[in-house]
């Protein structure tokens, strides 16, 4: 094959790979998200920056226009600075209905200088109770950091600045439902949860510090978008697609990073809370 026909062939193949999923480099927030509540407290600036704020009368939130069934989704967040005790910034994927699926990041604020807690959970078919919580190895209010969800048919990986912090594997073979049939939207909200968030509710929100503001930028999604029941990745998203992320797994280096985070920064793991599960741990805990 001559050089030019090889390069034509690869251009052709690339075109198909590209067609398969919606790939966005730092998308325009105006095209991707709607501010859904908060009466003006959520704002999109120039399409590049989104801010949510919270004061005594209300928080605010946004959601994605698209619904996704699998994706690799990155967002940069800068959390409420200073005394953020009592505030919660939730950033998550969720489907609808009573048997919903959900993949959660929640950032629980704290007094100035005290650490945020990054709370994670996975719901499948309406059932969650799979919390893992972490401290971060940096101050999440000083700058933007990237929080990512890789969701493919085999696994869900939560990452922070490219470092995996949690993996939830598909354990359907041992009877654990896995989110893979219900399209989800991205949601985020900033709200007051001073009844539980900071030191279990001991520290209340200091409203003299309001409004509290969290910021978002550089949204990027390599994802299968579902519209009118069809996936942009092809008929059966769970089997199709040329996208590497659809079968991505942790390589050795990433596996070691995950273990480093879990050893040094994880402060709660449902899979080791024996008081909570006196009859034995959930089945997925045995393979984690």
Residues that bind ligand NAG (CB under 6 A): 108, 110, 114-115, 117, 197-199
Nearer to ligand NAG, 108 or 186 (CB): 108
Nearer to ligand NAG, 54 or 108 (CB): 108
Q: 32, 102, 167, 284: which one is catalytic?
A: 102
Nearer to ligand NAG, 121 or 198 (CB): 198
Closest distance of CB 121 from ligand NAG, Å = 15
Nearer to ligand NAG, 199 or 286 (CB): 199
Closest distance of CB 257 from ligand NAG, Å = 23
Listed in order, strand segments (DSSP E) in the chain are 22-23, 33-37, 42-45, 49-54, 60-64, 67-78, 87-94, 102-108, 117-123, 132-134, 145-152, 155-160, 163-169, 185-192, 212-227, 230-231, 266-269
Cα–Cα distance for residue pair 51/185, rounded to 1 Å: 19
For 53, residues 6+ apart whose C-beta sits below 8 A from its C-beta are: 38, 41, 42, 59, 60, 190, 211, 212, 213, 214
Q: Which residue has the tokens 């879990």?
A: 262
Per the annotation, the verdict on 256 as an active-site residue is no
Cα–Cα distance for residue pair 143/2, rounded to 1 Å: 50
Judge contact between 77 and 145, C-beta under 8 A: yes
Closest by CA to 224, choosing from 15, 24, 66, 68, is 68
Q: 106, 248, 249, 259: which one is catalytic?
A: 106
Residue nearest to ligand NAG according to CB distances in the complex: 114
Nearer to ligand NAG, 120 or 198 (CB): 198
Nearer to ligand NAG, 67 or 106 (CB): 106
User: Which tokens is 138 given?
Assistant: 């940096």
Judge contact between 92 and 185, C-beta under 8 A: no
Judge contact between 136 and 267, C-beta under 8 A: no
Closest distance of CB 119 from ligand NAG, Å = 8
Cα–Cα distance for residue pair 246/160, rounded to 1 Å: 19
Closest distance of CB 46 from ligand NAG, Å = 32
Per the annotation, the verdict on 102 as an active-site residue is yes
Closest distance of CB 51 from ligand NAG, Å = 22
User: Which tokens is 159 given?
Assistant: 């990452």
Which residues are part of the catalytic machinery? 102, 106
């Amino acid at each position: 094959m001559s050089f030019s026909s090889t390069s034509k062939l690869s251009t052709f193949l690339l075109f198909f790979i590209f067609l398969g999923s919606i790939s966005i480099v730092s998308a325009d927030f105006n095209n991707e998200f709607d501010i859904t509540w908060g009466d003006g407290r959520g704002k999109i600036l120039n399409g590049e920056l989104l801010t949510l704020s919270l004061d005594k009368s209300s928080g605010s939130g946004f959601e994605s226009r698209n619904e996704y069934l699998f994706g690799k989704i990155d967002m940069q967040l800068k959390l409420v600075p200073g005394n953020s005790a009592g505030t919660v910034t939730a950033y998550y994927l969720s489907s609808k209905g009573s048997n919903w699926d959900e993949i959660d990041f929640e950032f629980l604020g704290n007094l100035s200088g005290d650490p945020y807690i990054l709370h994670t959970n996975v719901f499948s078919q309406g059932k969650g109770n799979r919390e893992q919580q972490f401290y971060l190895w940096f101050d999440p209010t000083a700058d933007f950091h990237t929080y990512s969800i890789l969701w493919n048919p085999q696994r869900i990986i939560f990452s922070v600045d490219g470092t995996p912090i949690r993996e939830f594997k598909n354990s359907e073979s041992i009877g654990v439902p896995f989110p893979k049939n219900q399209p989800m939207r991205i949601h985020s909200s900033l709200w007051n949860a001073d009844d539980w968030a900071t030191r279990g509710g001991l520290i209340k929100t200091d409203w003299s510090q309001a409004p509290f503001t969290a910021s978002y930028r550089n949204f990027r999604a390599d994802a299968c978008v579902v519209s009118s029941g069809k996936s942009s990745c092809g008929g059966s998203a769970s089997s199709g697609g040329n996208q590497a992320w659809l079968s991505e797994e942790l390589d050795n280096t990433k596996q070691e990073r995950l273990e480093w985070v879990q050893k040094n920064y994880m402060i709660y793991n449902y899979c080791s809370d024996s008081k909570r599960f006196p009859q034995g741990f959930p089945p997925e805990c045995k393979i984690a």
